[in-house]
Amino acid sequence: MAKGQIRKALSGFYYVHSDGELIQCRGRGVFRNRGISPLVGDFVDFVVEGNNDGTITAVHERHNELVRPPVSNIDQAILVFSAKEPAFNTILLDKFLVALESFHIHPIICLTKTDLLTSEENSGIQQYIKDYQEIGYEVIQTYKGDPEILVKIQQVLEGKTTVLAGQSGVGKSTLLNTIMPSLELKTGVISEALGRGKHTTRHVELIPLAGGLIADTPGFSSFDFDTLEKEELTSCFPELQRLSEDCKFRGCLHLKEPKCAVKAAVENKEIKQYRYDHYLQFLQEIIDRKPRY
């Protein structure tokens, strides 16, 4: 029984990487009967049938998985946000961070277009960077033509399976173009190679890069809290989670409960007001969410 990892899924076929080769495979019919759907990133068992064709017979247990896009066993996500054009958006960033924390995926913040900032704007951005670093998040700053970005990103990618995510227009394609110089790809070609060209089927693909694997994932640009329960939200804010152990009531939601360590920390400015405000907004979204049937 051969073992490998699904690196691409397209038109009903799964392309399994094993011993340096890609084997075109189909999933066993029994998977459909059991409700099992192989995902890009899955480690699988397969049997070879014919010339470089095979059938997946088993899917190994996943460390994590994303629904949109369908990809599994992700180690980390580089969240690409621009400092300007479009403006830095802390509430959207916090939505990404909460979602990744809930999936147990390590987030890295990459801030692009820092060269476009005025001195005053840069001062504000640097304060935000300090805030997130104090929480424990790694922040990479870069700009178009940054001579050091290749080294910065390569150090992060090595040995990891990474998702690249962010809004349109923040410089994701430029970043990819910078860290793939040996391929000499233009932005449009990169988009096509990653399944985002005008005439290609949208798909997820893990691409070997800098000693790791990276996926630019269509659809990974926003999140709804459709699977997160209100009791779990605190654990997705690391600074709230650390202090919540000192709350009087177990399961404290940090709303109106007495002797809440989190609310006290907000008042004492140990927790940033905007982060707490975002927590309250996300909590209300979860509470207002229509029940799933």
CB 43 within 8 A of CB 60: yes
Query: Amino acid identity of 95?
Result: K
Q: How many CB atoms lie under 10 A from the CB of residue 80?
A: 24
Q: What is the pLDDT of residue 198?
A: 39
* pLDDT at residue 6 in the model: 96
Rounded distance, CA 229 to CA 240, Å?
16
- Residue 215: the pLDDT is 81
Are 261 and 246 in contact by the 8 Å Cβ rule? The answer is yes
Are 137 and 77 contacting, i.e. CB atoms less than 8 angstroms apart? no
Residues 6+ apart with CB under 8 A from 177: 185, 186, 187, 190
For residues 17 and 100, give the distance between their C-alpha atoms in angstroms, rounded to a whole number.
Answer: 26
Residue spans of the chain under pLDDT 70: 167-173, 177, 179-202, 216-224, 292-293
* Predicted local confidence at residue 253, as pLDDT: 96
Contacts of 124 (CB under 8 A, 6+ apart): none
pLDDT on residue 185: 39
Q: Determine contact, residues 162/76, Cβ cutoff 8 Å.
A: yes
Whole-number CA gyration radius for the chain: 21
For residue 202, the model assigns a pLDDT of: 56
The model's pLDDT over 213-254, given as tens digits with 9 standing for 90+, comes to 988 555 455 566 778 899 999 999 999 999 999 999 988 999
Residue-level pLDDT at 184: 45
138-141 and 106-112 beta bridge pairing? parallel
pLDDT value at position 170?
A: 66
